A and B are shown apart, each in its own frame.
Chain A
């Protein structure tokens, strides 16, 4: 079935058993994003502990947005902001590829399963919801840290 390209097994697994879901108390910044076209909502808690990312999230949404946030949290936790930025860029580029890329498994690991989503323009925003919230959070946390180091 054509639909299976979109709903890869690993995506549905993450949807049913999401990782890092539930907001931890640890948070330098909290970012809330909404997809106004469908009402999906997602919150990201981001902290830097000794320069490495600690990420938790919560939200309501479709299988694509929830599974994508789950995989993102797993991928980015433990990385530096710079390393995470590279992963985020790779994922965004995959989503914008209109089905022409299969994704670098070295960088994106299981998240290459979202390659099929890039063929469904209406769903790309779903897949990016968590990632965009993280991007915002990363900018904010950097600002906060640089302010902190000045004072």
Chain B
């Protein structure tokens, strides 16, 4: 079954508005944040209108309904990832999910599985978003653990020629992205996961750019922890997810301390509630979690396979069209088997900001800049790129508008 973007767009009210005058919205910035369908907006608003109460507290009807809605969302997320309900932790963002892991590990006492010291190693990659680089870099500084990384080759793929020498025996953590938010590269995980587990390390996957766009099964991936954000998955802002294997989450100490996360507390000590409550201190972002549940149901109704196939077809059209323009350089693989629908490029020596501004005047929204991946930009010797990112509501006309817009920008800044 193929996907009809024109029908899907009707579910997203934002496409009814006009941009910079009379232009229709060509939204190619879903890698930064996705637009929201009515189903999500309504689910969030309905929670406030109908069921609002603090979850897991109180004996009244609203508290029961709120708890049911919130825990219902957790079940939806679990099913979406092929995971167990008690392995799903709601956070405020994917950034918080990754920081939760880094800080919780930092809280591990000597002798614990996750304790890090000067004899241990953390492995990342050169293509990480700052959200999956800085927590580990800073944890390494705090604990003295060594930091190593996989390099990125000129083709925009990880250099996996010598996995064993990067993931050494002393490695405890391997954190990497599933799909680069700049290059679009989808990283093959098997060799990394196998080696990490061989040396007793856990694998943490930043799945922000993959979960919204392709069918994910955590068991099949073989990783140990996975983070993604609600707002990139047609869900609300203010909610993220951390998935982890039960036995690991049980061993991991908490990060945030407060209400709802204890099984007992005295003036001098406390014990922790079972996972996931141990990691959800305070009244959570309930309406947002419920909205995320609606978002994932929306995506499942359309079908992740359909969404992925649709995006890949459009990505092919975009890459082909861009490469026909003299002076356009694409960063990342052009082979559609190795990438998702995120395409970063430069246009001759026109600064990406200027290209983006020109496109904006036509109603085309793209991202410009370093995309929160400075080390990667430096590796490629660039300060910034234009990034177009594709989602289920985009169609051929959007892609063609972008290609035409890039030609226009060249003319505007070149031939005047």
Interface of A with B (CB < 8 Å)? 1-3, 6-7, 9, 12, 37-41, 60-64, 120, 123, 126
Query: A73: shortest Cβ distance to chain B, in Å?
Result: 19
Q: Nearest Cβ distance between residue A10 and chain B, in whole angstroms?
A: 12
Contact assessment for B357 and A41 in the assembled complex, using a CB-CB cutoff below 8 Å: no
Let me know if A61 and B413 touch, CB within 8 A: no
Q: How far is the CA of A65 from the CA of B401 in the complex (A)?
A: 27
Q: Is the CB of B357 within 8 A of A39?
A: no
26 interchain pairs (CB within 8 A)?
A2-B20, A3-B357, A3-B358, A3-B361, A3-B412, A7-B412, A9-B416, A12-B413, A12-B416, A38-B353, A38-B369, A38-B370, A38-B383, A38-B384, A39-B369, A39-B374, A39-B377, A40-B384, A63-B351, A63-B353, A63-B354, A63-B413, A64-B353, A64-B354, A120-B357, A123-B357
- B233 at the A interface (CB under 8 A): no
Known interface pairs A2-B361, A12-B413, A12-B416; A61-B377 also in contact (CB < 8 Å)? no
Contacts of A7 in B (CB 8 A): 354, 357, 412
> Using an 8 Å CB-CB cutoff, how does the interface string of B360-393 with A read, 1 for contact, 0 for none?
0100000011100010010000011000000000
Q: Which residues of B are found within 8 Å of A41, using beta-carbon distances?
A: 383
A sample of 5 more A-B contacts (CB under 8 A), given A40-B383, A62-B354, is A2-B20, A38-B352, A38-B370, A38-B384, A39-B374
Chain A residues, Cβ within 8 Å of B374: 39
Report the minimal beta-carbon distance from A17 to chain B, rounded to whole angstroms: 13
**Which residues of the other chain, A, contact B369 by a CB distance below 8 angstroms?**
37-39
Distance A53 CA – B374 CA, assembled complex (angstroms): 35
Residues from chain A with a CB closer than 8 A to the CB of B111 are none
Nearest chain A CB to B177 CB, angstrom units: 20
How close is B382's CB to chain A, nearest CB, in angstroms?
A: 8
Instruction: Give the interface centre of A2, A6, A62, A126 by most chain B CB atoms within 10 Å.
Output: A62
The smallest beta-carbon distance between A140 and chain B, in angstroms, is 25
Q: How large is the interface on B (under 10, 10 to 19, 20 to 34, 35 or more residues)?
A: 10 to 19
Q: How far is the CA of A120 from the CA of B368 in the complex (A)?
A: 15
Cα A3 to Cα B374 with chains together (Å) = 29
CA distance A37 to B374 in the complex (A): 11
What separation, in Å, do the CA atoms of A126 and B354 have in the docked complex?
11
Please tell me which one of the listed residues B21, B361, B384, B416 contacts residue A39 in the complex, with CB atoms under 8 A apart.
B384
- The smallest beta-carbon distance between B359 and chain A, in angstroms, is 10
Q: A-contacting residues of B (Cβ < 8 Å)?
A: 20-21, 351-354, 357-358, 361, 368-370, 374, 377, 383-384, 412-413, 416
Selected from B21, B353, B377, the residue in CB contact (under 8 A) with A2 is B21
Q: Chain B residues near A38 (CB, 8 Å)?
A: 352-353, 368-370, 383-384
- Min CB distance, A39 to chain B, in Å? 4
- Chain A contacts of B357 at CB under 8 A? 3, 6-7, 120, 123
Give every chain B residue within 8 A of A64 (Cβ-Cβ): 353-354
- The answer on a CB contact under 8 Å between B413 and A39 is no
* B361 in contact with A1 (CB, 8 Å): yes
Please name all residues of chain A whose beta carbon is closer than 8 Å to the beta carbon of B361 when the two chains form the complex: 1-3
CB neighbours of B20 from chain A (8 A)? 2
- Flag if A39 contacts B358 (CB, 8 Å): no
How far in angstroms is the closest Cβ of chain A from B22? 11
A67 nearest CB across to chain B (Å): 11
Distance (whole angstroms) from the CB of A76 to the closest CB of chain B: 24
Residues of A close to B352: CB separation below 8 A? 38, 62
With the chains together, A120 CA to B358 CA distance in Å?
Answer: 12
Kindly list chain A residues whose C-beta atoms are within 8 Å of the C-beta of B353: 38, 40, 61-64, 123, 126
- Give the Cβ gap from B387 to chain A, nearest Cβ, in Å: 12
Shortest beta-carbon distance, B3 to chain A, in Å? 32
Given A37-B369, A38-B384, A39-B383, A61 and B351 contact (CB-CB distance below 8 Å): yes
Measured between beta carbons, the chain B residues less than 8 angstroms from A9 are: 416
Closest to A37 in B: B369
A28 to B135, alpha carbons, bound, how many Å? Answer: 39
Contacts of B370 in A (CB 8 A): 38-39
Q: How far is the CA of A104 from the CA of B368 in the complex (A)?
A: 32
Query: Which B residue's beta carbon lies closest to that of A34?
Result: B383
**In the bound complex, do residue B383 and residue A60 qualify as a contact, i.e. CB atoms below 8 Å apart?**
yes
Distance in angstroms from B377 CB to nearest chain A CB is 7
Interchain CA distance A60-B413 in the complex, whole Å: 16
For B368, list chain A residues within 8 Å (CB).
38
| Cβ contacts under 8 Å, A123 to chain B | 353, 357
Question: Among A1, A37, A62, which residue has its beta carbon within 8 angstroms of that of B351?
Answer: A62
Complex CA distance for A146 and B21, rounded to whole angstroms: 54
A1 to B351, CA, bound (A): 20
Bound Cα distance A126, B357 (Å)? 12
A93 to B215, CA, bound (A): 51
Give complex CA distance A86, B413 in Å: 32
Chain B residues whose C-beta falls within 8 Å of the C-beta of A40 in the assembled complex: 353, 383-384
A121 to B416, CA, bound (A): 25
Which chain B residue lies CB-closest to A39? B383
